[in-house]
Amino acid sequence: MAEKALEFDRVAQEVFAPIYPVIASRLLELAGVRKGRCLDIGCGGGHLGLAAARGFEGTLILLDANPYAVAIAEQRIPEEARGYIRALRGDVHALPLTDASVDLVLSRGAMWFWKKEASLKEIWRVLAPGGVAVLGGGYGTAQLKTAIYRHMSMRNQEDFGEQQEKRMRGARPEEYALVMERLGMGVPQCIHEDSGDWLLFHKSPEGTEGP
């Protein structure tokens, strides 16, 4: 677990670093929510959430199931931001947060590890009325994606694109959207961009729909 968290964070810093500010600003734009309480699920070293915090007014929780990732994210929180950003250990299938307490849920590169129905129900439970979730995977821009695929293929001595395809099999936005529709959880949007795929959903301001 420690080795996984350290290796992922090494790659995030050495290779993926330029994607986070680009993705953060795109996800904030897609979500249209810029204040309240933000939750980055499967935050790893916290790069995406911390980049999003620059365009978000309110509090941020960096959450990961791996305690070593949480420790890395914790260390990355700037001293002056510790009053409103915190790192928390937690599993998306049993979020350690109260109902209707989060305005914006973000997640990158983690949803293919999750059980669809259990994770969606939990995200739905913690979303506040009017809240939005954007979950998926991406690399910021098509150029960054190409450069990262090339770099990672050389680094790992295997076709990174093929590995990603395998990882994502069965966990694409459409597959999550089907589960949401079955559970009566609003009308999800599947967003496909050159650099990545996202599932976006809102909880209505009345907060009446849902499982």
Ligand X SMILES: C[S@@+](CC[C@H](N)C(=O)[O-])C[C@H]1O[C@@H](n2cnc3c(N)ncnc32)[C@H](O)[C@@H]1O
x/- binding map, residues 2-31, to ligand X, per CB under 6 A?
------x---x-------------------
Nearer to ligand X, 82 or 93 (CB): 93
Side chain identity at 132, as an amino acid letter? V
Residue 7 Cβ vs ligand X, minimum distance, rounded to whole Å: 10
109 part of the interface to ligand X, by CB under 6 A:
yes
Query: Is residue 70 near ligand X by the rule CB under 6 A?
Result: no
**Does position 43 bind ligand X by CB under 6 A?**
yes
Looking at 108, 121, 202, 203, which residue binds ligand X (CB under 6 A)?
A: 108
Residue 208 Cβ vs ligand X, minimum distance, rounded to whole Å: 28
Q: Are 5 and 66 in contact (CB under 8 A)?
A: yes
- DSSP H helices, the chain, are 2-11, 19-31, 47-53, 67-76, 116-126, 142-156, 160-168, 173-183
What span, in angstroms and rounded, lies between the C-alpha atoms of 101 and 104? Answer: 10
134 CA to centre of own chain? 7
- The one among 56, 114, 139, 176 contacting ligand X by CB under 6 A: 114
If binding is defined by CB under 6 A, does position 69 make contact with ligand X?
Answer: yes
For ligand X, the closer CB: 88 or 183: 88
The secondary structure of 33-89 as a DSSP string is --EEEEEEET-TTSHHHHHHHTT-EEEEEEEESSHHHHHHHHHHS-GGGTTTEEEEE
- 172 is an interface residue for ligand X by CB under 6 A: no
Q: Given the rule CB under 6 A, which residues bind ligand X?
A: 8, 12, 41-44, 47-48, 64-66, 69, 91-93, 108-110, 113-114
